Amino acid sequence: ESYRQELRSAFGLDKPWYLRLPDMVRRVLTLDLGKSRSLTSFSGSNEVAVIVLERIPNTVVLITTAVVISALIGIFSGVKIATKAGSRLDRAVSFLSSISYAMPSWWTGIIFILVFSFYFRIFPPGGMYSTPPPEDPFTRGLDLLRHAALPVLTLVTAILGGWIYVSRTIVLNVAQEDFVEAARVRGLPERIVMWRYILRPAAPPIMTNVVFSIAGSIGGAILTETVFNWPGMGRLYYEAITAFDEPLIVALTFLFTLIYIITRFILEVLYVLLDPRVRY
């Protein structure tokens, strides 16, 4: 019982929540996240802030890159096939998109490792650098790209279908609105109708997906990073859970929540800029 009371005092659980919350927010904003019980950074520090700051760039290199590539290709393809609704191209891309959306990234990653790493021996099966890592910066960068190629390809394959399908659906829904037909009846060029009357009203929901996906990518992809042994935020979360590292788990949860709140604020500003119907 005394040990339990010591733990409650150490974590501040003996205080009311309204006293703990402001202090926790301040600590998250200043990255005063405490110390990990069992995990350390690559430099040997057990400070949670040091551990997290080491992993974020790794996740940005992998997950954020894959999300940006998927978003660019998916939005462009979705808008393109939305202008050819019902065509063979539309049916073919929609079919492939549904297959892509249904494929779990971890399963796709395992298949890609078997094919490209063990059968064709094109890419390494995992890790971020070779062992030992190259010392020359240019060679080290090429080695990083070679190790990142397969997990990025896996993530793009797994999430590209969702981007194409969502973008196509949003554009088609807007294209069926009455104000779009009114613009065509007035004799406006199709290019102006597409950019001003279809794409601009369709931009807010698409932008919502983009911003949330990029913000969520900072949290990493637990399964993909684990399959490829990539030292990112997702892998860190997995290691913290398996090691029962409460300080690190709590710090990561608060950090992801803060990222979500900041993302919501950014979206509210973007809505005003993108959608003329939104005014505060």
How many Cβ atoms from other residues are within 10 Å of residue 188's Cβ? 14
Check residue 139 and give its pLDDT. 94
Farthest-apart Cα atoms in the chain, separation = 81
- pTM above 0.85? no
Decide: 171 and 198 in contact? Cβ < 8 Å.
yes
Decide: 53 and 253 in contact? Cβ < 8 Å.
no
Which positions ≥6 away from 193 have C-beta within 8 Å? 180, 183, 184
Three-state secondary structure along 144-195?
HHHHHHHHHHHHHHHHHHHHHHHHHHHHHHHHCCHHHHHHHHCCCCHHHHHH
Decide: 254 and 45 in contact? Cβ < 8 Å.
no
Which positions ≥6 away from 152 have C-beta within 8 Å? 62, 65, 66, 69
Q: Sign of dihedral through CA atoms 217, 220, 223, 225?
A: positive
Check residue 28 and give its pLDDT. 76
**DSSP-assigned states of every residue in 34-74:** -B-SS---TTS--BHHHHHHHHHHHHIIIIIHHHHHHHHHH
Q: Sign of dihedral through CA atoms 145, 147, 153, 155?
A: negative
> What structural domains and CATH numbers belong to the chain?
56-274 (1.10.3720.10)
Check residue 119 and give its pLDDT. 92
pLDDT tens series, the chain, 280 aa: 788 888 788 777 888 888 888 887 788 777 787 889 889 898 889 998 899 989 999 998 888 899 999 999 999 999 989 888 888 888 998 898 888 888 888 899 999 999 999 999 999 999 999 988 888 999 999 999 999 999 999 999 989 998 998 999 999 999 988 989 999 899 889 889 998 888 888 888 888 888 888 888 877 688 889 999 999 998 999 999 999 888 888 888 888 888 888 888 888 888 877 766 666 5
Check residue 280 and give its pLDDT. 53
Check residue 146 and give its pLDDT. 94
Check residue 278 and give its pLDDT. 65
Task: Kindly state the tokens that stand for 160.
Answer: 């590209």
